[in-house]
Chain A
Amino acid sequence: MKEQTEQKTKIAAFVCNWCSYAGADAAGTSRLQYDDSVWIVRFPCTGRIDPLFIIKAFEQGVDGVLVSGCHPGDCHYATGNLFARRRFTIFRTLMLFLGLDERRLQFSWVSAAEGAKWASVVNTVAGAVKELNGEPFTWAIPMPLRGAIGASDGEAVQTLRENIKAIEQTHRFTFGDQMIETREAAMTEELRLRAKQLLEAGEVNAVLGYANGTLPRTAIPLFALSLEATDQLVWNRHCRTNLAVYLARPLVRKLGKLAVVVKPCDAKAVLGLLQEHQVQRENVHLIGMACTGVEERGAIAPKCLSCTQRMPDLFDTKIGTAQEQPATRGNPIDETVRLLDNASPQERWNFWQEEFSRCIRCYACRAVCPFCYCETCITDKHRPQWITPSARSEGTMAWNIVRAAHLAGRCVGCNECARVCPANIRLDLLNRKIALEIKNEFDYEAGQSVESAPPLVAYRPDDSQEFIR
């Protein structure tokens, strides 16, 4: 019995109660015969279908997932399907970027009257998934990875990696600026002075900035609580950490009003935190730094190459003057995203499996992300246990997908996650791919305005839905 079901194609259909479930009923009432490999799970609304359920279904070994709900305008709850449409637009983009074959994850609108449509959707989806049956599909490749990816596939991934490396190499620039150290010293002085003023005037209770690290060419975060401590503040190209990450922490909140040193990308993160009610504007004093980029591994950080912003959008105090803008020196991150886009799904799938297989689940990516401010993360939840906590392959897969999905429309591209990853997983590519899609589909960029609703908790009636049957 068990063996039988294992051989059989299995497709999970997540449907809303009011339209598609009833549509499937209508197919039954009309005695329309259709493929028997679809299992229906009933939800109140497509708006209730968390992508995590889809991940979980794939983890369980289903061959495909179909999500179906009411046509726009017919939602029993007026707008549930419209939010779902946006969420799945992004989730689908992410999954396809990871290399999932698009036939395995499909979407449709089926109304309560469309019994015939239901039958035909099921047949089409089941037919498409069965076409794939010859191809190997393992949701999460067990570690160690070697041997699991076929030799020819491994070669393809190898080529991909070499091309990525080439992009990195062509975009390796060092700070050639002779004046940089003088300027950094001057800005450090100005910063210390301003910090002293703020503390003395009682405007803030602490100044959050950077101090020199214990190793050369590093900087560490510093909470300057006293006037003396301000003398340790520094500003230089090694101040990489996005300090916005501290603002939403309960202990930091207890400090009351805080001055924080921000680069342009950090200020965008603060803006996001304001938008998500994690920080009160009156509780932060932003010290905006004139920024010419930070250094990573002895070169200008990739994220800084395409950035032309020299002053933050949002600040209360300005330190330094905006330098002449260097022309962008290419965009290695976008180029790499494009490279992966142009690879075959199977190549992408293998590439990411290889990437994720290195993940040791240290959660450094989570710890440095300003938007991972949940005190209890979804990975820490046990009832139910969405994501297995140890570095087992399926949990690792789920974690990396969920992390990227949860940042959709929020990530400001500070790329701290990728920088701190001890396994060098290219998390920045996932974030960037989603950001590009959101810009393209919803004309939204994170970190631009406090008032606007984040794109995944908003909708437009005319959002595109070409991917929905």
Chain B
Amino acid sequence: MGERVNKSIIIALVLAAILALLPFGLPRFYVYLIALIVTFGLVSTSLNFVLGFGGIYQFHHAVFYGVGAYGAAVTIMKLGWSPWIGFVVGPLTAAFLSLVMGIICIRLSKLYFGMLQISLGSLVWVTVYRWYGLTGGDDGIHGVTVPELIESPTGSYYFTMIVAALSLFIMYRILHAPFGSILQGIRDNAIRSQALGVNVRRHQLIALVIAGFFAGVAGVLFVVIDNSVFPDMMFWTLSLEVTIMALLGGWFTFMGPMLGAAIIVLLRTFVSTVTDYWALVLSVVLVLVILFLPEGVLGKVFEIWHQRHPEKSAQGE
């Protein structure tokens, strides 16, 4: 087990070194694309925090991503406050919204939770879409000021990488602490957990707030990369895409959603240069995942690995 931990630390360090050196060799567009992948990967990982590990069907997760971005943009552009304050306000707003929506939805189970969550999320979207005075309506807000330090493409790239890595690390720690173990217990069997003395609803609500917060962090990262926000960021189709990322990558693995985000974002970028029918391609991907990879790409990889090394298969991560 110790060997495995050492190995994964080495892999992480090598990966970090490669990512740190990329801006020096790659054209600007690809640096932007990688930052985008990591941002979407963070949204998807935060969704998977409650979906794959919590068993909560949060169908409209992009709302918290959008609200995090808008929270930052509005604070900076409409209130004229420092961008750094905006970067904190965004995720906190998302976490607060997540708490409010969670309190309303949590009494419902599974699919009903998801349906009500979509409805409430769409309500937030409509509000943002219509409230020209505050949110700029369907135009959104453009040219959002960011601190000089991270204004350049390279600066925003490094900022994105560091914040995303930190967020992933915190979520990973939480999932491997008692809170996370019990969250997975609730996913597997809520009745059993309740009978053990776990306050199931409170536990799920806290998980939802954490997930909403980190989706909001991803929203801030998008503002840093793109300097703009627009209502599509919280439209339900984006939530669908984020969900597919998690399912495709492997929703019972921690890094699965990041892998799924890489596949989907790359696919979208290159498919869009060939055809307008991106949604069609996406739906085919979804069908293939459901039929052939019910546990996702990374889930499949682990499965094969465990079959080949049955003696080492202590725990899947």
Instruction: Note whether A and B form a binding pair.
Output: no
